[in-house]
Structure 1
Amino acid sequence: MSRHHEAHGSRPDSQLTGAESLLLGLKRAGIDYLFANAGTDFPPIIEAFATLDVDDVPTPVTVPHETASVAMAHGYYLVTGRPQAIMVHVNVGLANAAMGVINAASDDVPVVVMSGRTPITERGRRGSRVTPIQYGQEMYDQSSIVADVVKFRYEMRYPEQGEILAARAVSLAMSEPRGPVYISLPREALMETIPAEIAIGAPVPPATAPHPDPAAIEEAARLLSAARRPLILCQRGDPSGSVGALLASLAEKFAIPVVEPYSIRNVMPSHHPMLLGYDVKGPLAEADVVLVVDSGVPWMESLHRPATETTVIQLGPDPHFRRMPIRGHKADLAIACDTAVGLAALAEAMTPSPHAEERRALYRQASERRRRDAAELAAQGRSSPMSAEWMSRCISDIMDEQAIVFSELGVLPHMMDLKGPNRLFNNPHSGGLGWALPAALGAQLADRERLVIACVGDGSYIFANPVACHQIAEALELPVLTIIKNNRMWNAVRRSVANSYPDGAAVKMNRMPLTSLEPSPDYTQIAAASRAYVERVDHGDDFPAALERAVEVIRKERRQAVLELNIAVSDKY
């Protein structure tokens, strides 16, 4: 008897369609949700959902824009460590989803990306072409849209491949270094039934976590233990928080300072005495041994590369970051391993340093001074328009022990009191804008009781397809708090021009070309159309009370809230 036979009454495997086999395989591989933007390629998938038991398949979630579907899977993974699946409409849907796939690849986030494929046959088979659009949408290689950023890509050819492909896709996505995978799904393979003589394959687990070379760990431990001014750089942890806990323990025990340069997922609690903050320039210049922990861009080579005599150790699942064509960061020792496993092994191998107590006193004072200066700077921004520093401090003040922020050109981590690892998620270095708001929706779906905040610039909010995002929040009852920094421009573009041409003609203009977003729309009306609680806040003095009102609505009424802020233009952020 087949394993589906018992679960589905009298239906053996040989009576399953390719679509049914695929959905069953995704669920068996651990996929909870299928975030989907449907098209004419979806009939066999929709019929399979209607036919199979709801407990045996992922929960289908309608997402009205493809970029939001990938970002929701991204955010869901960041708070659970579990990969999710998306499906979009043939090549046009995949084109819209491509930016999200690029973001997932940049952040090593596993997502099973699927799209329909226009029918291969013109006649004679179930699923053959029936509309003119199915000619217009065909490509020679549909997977080429995402081929450069996915770990695995394949076009399903036969119905019996459904469960096998699902298992293989998930196992490859979850094997280190993790990342997105892609499957193309022609209608014929989805609609046909599995032949009676074909057996279905077994699930495939992800590869076990890679362990470091013991000799390399011993050498790294010797270098760090003997160093007078060691330094740790880390710009992201893991969803479980294990990396953050191990790093905090290692830094405290051996008095090694930590900097989180260009942070993607915060690693250390803000109050940790060995956290020097987020600016790598000064600490890097003083370091004699640097441990770079799973950081693709630990410093900018053109601005503040380490001295020639500084020893650099790179540690992580892919310490050379082979997905980056050009990356010249120094590495005297490169240790490939699961990050948490490597840090645990390193802590076990290290010995106390004679310089530890001197460093401990020095960096404790530096950490306290950093936090004091941040509080003073934030308070200076209680004005109209308010500063990003004040905004960030106020958001931090309303966050409890479990609250998290998804930031896209939004909050400033050095102004915040982050209670632990994975409290702040910044947009990936790939920079595909429109990520933070739908990623926050995915995180809220994973944990409906947690306070989830999306803080985005006005340009990023437009990129997020806010009509789609607020519709999702209302439909799924996801009470996300969205904070829009409205400075009426693409300030990141303006700063880039000013840095590139500080004495140029553009910086002297009242309105720099290609940067203005004026006249600014009333963004709150977009959210109000989906029955969100909305407020516009002009003065910094009014922001704390507005935050309290928004959080109260979220807690008591369980609906989304949106605050639009009048934010000062900054030359730094």
Structure 2
Amino acid sequence: MALDQAERKAAPDNRTGAESLLLGLKSAGIDFIFANAGTDFPPIIEAFAALDENAVPVPVTVPHETASVAMAHGYYLLTGRAQATMVHVNVGLANSAMGAINAASDNIPVLIMSGRTPITEHGRRGARVSPIQYGQEMYDQSSLVSDVVKFHYEMRYPEQGGLLAARAAVLATSEPKGPVYVSLPREALMDIVPASNADAPCLQAPATVPYPDPAAIAQAAQWLSAAKNPLIVCQRGDPDGRVGAALADLAETFAIPVVEPFSIRNLMASDHPMFLGYDIKMPLAAADVVLVVDSGVPWIESLHRPASETKIIHLGPDPNFQRMPVRGYQADLAIASDASAGLTALATAMEPTTSMVEERRARYARLSRERLEKAAENAAEGCASPMSTEWMSHCVAAVMDERAVIFSELGVLPGHLRVNGPNRIFSNPHSGGLGWALPAALGAQLADRERLVIASMGDGSYMFANPIACHQIAEALELPVLTIVKNNSMWNAVRRSVINSYPGGAAAKSNRMPLTSLEPSPDYTQAAAASRAYTERVEHGEELPAALARAVEVIRKERRQVLLELKVAASDKH
């Protein structure tokens, strides 16, 4: 006979595998489980209902699996705390795979869990009871994500719940960080944990961060101190902003210019005098020593390869990016280290400033000012119908306060924003799994309900985001995200790729390039309006500042989501 809720709370020796798992996840620091339920979930749902809600993570219903992983991704970027997802067997895991790929590319710790169709046909609690439990079984379900996760395992016995939760969490959050996967058969979830194993959940700590080899730091400091034109290349920092702070101090103290090509999580303030923006070409050509800080793709070898005599230093938790099968960047020195610890050690080891440093300081401060002035001029030229992305970005920057964050997926141009420090601009990972920005922004908004959170994306990326599901989540959880859809009625990234590959070719000359058009354009505002969002369509650039001001006012006063659909011109540059 089943135990009632009061009996279950008082009788830990009668816990199920599902209860053990949920208790273990909470003990491992998991705040939320973003879940898309299926027929494998009854023991999980029963466990949520039976246990004290303060002893388990908060269950969040997410009506599409790709959104669940992206929400965990965005939540981590704002808080530095890993979260969990759970989806339905192989079909749900298949939909989660793109989110897992994005998380792996950006070293985001996410605990991805899925059910596993019952192993047994009869005779055990949790055995098969429906036709789909035959049709959904696989020989190797974990193969759907095993190539990108750090760890994957199938729960075998109910007493493994707490241990697997702890093990998965510490592996996900130890450097280099990344997603992990656990599959959960119904039998193991429904079985009772043996009394001899009904102890408190297993507690484990993530590995401490790696610190740099002093000899390697001394060598790097010597090269950078002696360099006439040193350069720092970076792409991402940490959620706490420690890397950005250490980087800004090092650049300022020794007058070393910084560029952020292919930025994923911004590090530098827009107006920092040593910040040269996002274009690597000219700074790399002039550099004699380059410090690459935790950047998987610091430049494109076929376009901007540095001179052979240039010294290249890579620094980061995994400076050689072993996850990438092919990566041939020159590395005269590869320093495995927590990025902020490595930068701080370099600053301590470098020689005092010299006249050469002061000459650099004046030169790069001037170039930084000129870059900002030119960006403002270019933006103003795009105030038209359709407006330019430069103008759109310039206007969005004007409504962002000092705490606002933006998630961009082929949306805004970072060089036309004005931010005061790190972790204000989050761009889609280099894995390119589209549909990331909107659900990631939802996760960030859940982490901080008072912050202005913006999701900016192209119309094609918006389609990939499963917008009906995302807007439903925003309404259900009362997340007042500002969604900006940049509508150019095409997959412009594909069009640009064709033009760059075949300049002057038949496709480039055609009136309508095959496989790129998204016409006729849907009315994107209606997708959001179905979930009671405030919506506007903006056709002319002159109308945008006022529309953005109204959007922010709705968010601040009415606390509801907003969608703006903007008519934006296609560009051959971005």
- Shorter-chain TM-score category? over 0.9
How far apart in 2 are the matches of 1:123 and 1:158? 17
Please name the residue that 1:471 is paired with.
472
- The code of the aligned residue for 1:517 comes to L
Matches of 1:290 and 1:319 in 2, distance apart? 14
Q: What is the Cα deviation at residue 526 of structure 1?
A: 0.5
Aligned to 1:304: 304
Displacement after TM superposition at 1:350 (Å): 1.0
| Closer, same or farther: CA 8–131 of 1 in aligned 2, 3 Å | closer
- The residue identity in structure 1 corresponding to 2:296 is G
Map Cα deviations across residues 3-56 of structure 1 (whole Å, 9 max, x no partner).
xxx9975212x2110000000000010000000000000000000000000000
| Distance in 1, Cα, partners of 2:132 & 2:515 | 36
SS of residue paired to 2:400: coil
- Alignment of 1:434 onto 2:435: yes
Question: Partner of 1:137 in structure 2?
Answer: 136
**Equivalent residue letter for 1:318:** D
Partner of 2:445: 444
Structure 1 residue 504, shift from structure 2 partner: 0.8
SS of alignment partner, residue 197 of structure 2: coil
Mapping for residues 234-245 of structure 1, pairs under 5 Å: 234-245=234-245
CA distance in 2, matches of 1:261, 1:314: 15
Q: Which AA in structure 1 matches 2:412?
A: V
Instruction: Tell me what 1:553 maps to.
Output: 554
Residue 104 of structure 1: aligned partner: 103
Q: CA deviation at 1:301?
A: 0.6
2:285 aligns to what SS in structure 1? helix
For 1:209, what is the secondary structure of its paired residue?
coil
1:167 aligned onto 2:166 = yes
Query: Which runs of 5 or more structure 2 residues have no equivalent in the other structure?
Result: 1-5
1:199 shift after superposition: 4.9
Q: Counterparts of 1:315 and 1:402 in 2: how far apart (Å)?
A: 29
One-letter code aligned to 1:112: L
2:114 aligned counterpart, secondary structure? strand
Per-residue CA deviations over 1:422-480 (Å, capped at 9, x if unaligned) read 00000000000000000000000000000000000000000000000000000000000
Contact map agreement 2:315 2:337 (CA 8 A) in 1: yes
Given residue 295 of structure 2, which amino acid in structure 1 is its aligned partner?
Answer: S
CA 1:84 to 1:514, structure 2 compared with 1: closer, same or farther past 3 Å?
A: same
Three-state SS of the structure 2 residue aligned to 1:425 is strand
Give the SS at the match of 1:277. coil
Q: CA offset at residue 419 of structure 1?
A: 1.5
Which residue pairs with 2:156 in the alignment? 157
Q: What letter corresponds to residue 401 of structure 1 in structure 2? A: E
Instruction: Please state if 1:281 is matched with 2:278.
Output: no
What does residue 44 of structure 1 align with? 43
Contact 1:226 1:353 in 2 (8 A): no
Secondary structure (helix, strand or coil) at the match of 2:276 reads strand
Q: Which residue in 1 is equivalent to 2:127?
A: 128
User: Contact 1:150/1:179 (CA < 8 Å) preserved in 2?
Assistant: yes
Q: Is 1:370 aligned to residue 371 of structure 2?
A: yes
Alignment of 1:495-510 (within 5 A): 495-510=496-511
Q: Which amino acid aligns with 1:43?
A: P
Q: Distance in 1 between matches of 2:397 and 2:220?
A: 36
Q: CA deviation at 1:421?
A: 0.4
Task: Tell me the equivalent position of 1:331.
Answer: 331
In structure 1, the partner of 2:534 is 533
Q: Structure 1, residues 466-502: CA drift from partner, whole Å, max 9, x if none? A: 0000000000000000000000000000000000001
The question of 1:147 aligning with 2:146 is answered yes
Q: Is the 8 A contact 1:175 1:207 kept in 2?
A: yes
CA-to-aligned-CA distance 1:73-92 (integer Å, 9 cap, x gap): 00000000000000000000
Report what 1:3 is aligned to.
none
Answer yes or no: is the 8 Å Cα contact 1:436–1:455 preserved in 2.
yes
Give 3-state SS (helix, strand or coil) of 2:387's partner: coil
Please state how far the C-alpha of 1:294 moved relative to its aligned partner.
0.1
CA distance in 2, matches of 1:267, 1:158: 45
What is aligned with 2:423? 422
Q: Distance in 1 between matches of 2:554 and 2:202?
A: 47
Equivalent residue number for residue 57 of structure 1: 56
Q: For residue 202 of structure 1, what is the aligned residue in structure 2?
A: 202
Q: Which amino acid aligns with 2:84?
A: A
User: What is the aligned residue count?
Assistant: 567
Counterparts of 1:505-516 in structure 2 under 5 Å?
505-516=506-517
Answering whether residue 123 of structure 2 is matched by residue 119 of structure 1, we say no
Q: Which runs of 5+ in 1 are unaligned?
A: 1-5
1:71-90 correspondence to structure 2 within 5 Å:
71-90=70-89
1:21 corresponding residue in structure 2? 20
Aligned residue for 1:345? 345
Residues 9 and 50 in structure 2, CA contact (< 8 A), matched pair in contact too = no
Residue in structure 1 matched with residue 463 of structure 2 by the alignment: 462
Tell me the equivalent position of 2:3: none
Q: Deviations over 1:297-322 (max 9, x none)?
A: 00101101110000000000000000
Shift of 1:352: 2.3
Which residue identity lines up with residue 510 of structure 2 in the other structure? M
Q: Mapping of 1:310-321 within 5 angstroms?
A: 310-321=310-321
Q: Give 1:520 deviation, angstroms.
A: 0.3
In structure 1, C-alpha distance between the alignment counterparts of 2:198 and 2:288, rounded to whole Å: 59
* Distance (Å, rounded) in 1 between the aligned partners of 2:255 and 2:18: 56
Letter of the structure 1 residue corresponding to residue 34 of structure 2: F
8 Å CA contact retained: 2:9, 2:51 = no
Q: Which residue of 1 aligns with 2:33?
A: 34
Letter in 2 for 1:449: E
SS at match of 2:195: coil
**Which whole-Å CA distance do the structure 2 matches of 1:93 and 1:558 have between them?**
32
**In 1, distance between residues paired with 2:173 and 2:110?**
9
Contact 1:66/1:96 (8 A) holds in 2: yes
User: Structure 1: which amino acid aligns with 2:155?
Assistant: M
**How much is the aligned-residue C-alpha RMSD, in angstroms?**
1.0
Aligned residue for 1:224, secondary structure, equals helix
Name the CA distance, whole Å, in 1 between partners of 2:332 and 2:353: 21
What CA distance in whole angstroms lies between the structure 2 residues aligned with 1:81 and 1:227?
A: 35
Render the CA deviation track for 1:126-169: whole Å, top value 9, x for unaligned. 00001110000000010000000000000000000000000000
Deviations 1:168-214 (A, max 9, x none): 00000000000000000000000000011225453111000111101
Corresponding letter in the other structure for 1:252: E
2-structure distance, mates of 1:118, 1:98 = 18
Match of 1:486 in 2: 487
| Equivalent residues of 1:480, 1:559 under 8 A apart | yes
CA distance in 1: counterparts of 2:45 and 2:195, whole angstroms: 24
CA distance in 1, matches of 2:489, 2:352: 53
Q: How does the TM-score come out when normalised to structure 2?
A: 0.98
C-alpha separation in 2, matches of 1:36 and 1:319 = 34
> Which residue identity does 2:179 align to in structure 1?
P
The structure-2 alpha-carbon separation of the partners of 1:230 and 1:141, relative to structure 1 and needing over 3 Å to count, comes to: same
Output the CA distance in 2 between the equivalents of 1:311 and 1:148.
Answer: 33
Write out per-residue CA displacement over residues 276-296 of structure 1, whole angstroms, 9 at most, x where no aligned residue: 000001000100000000000
Q: Secondary structure at the match of 2:303?
A: helix
The whole-number CA distance in structure 1 between the counterparts of 2:417 and 2:499 is 27
Q: Deviation per CA, 1:507-556, whole angstroms, max 9, x where unpaired? A: 11111000000000110001000000000000000000000000000000
Letter in 2 for 1:459: G
Pairwise CA distance, 1:370: 0.2
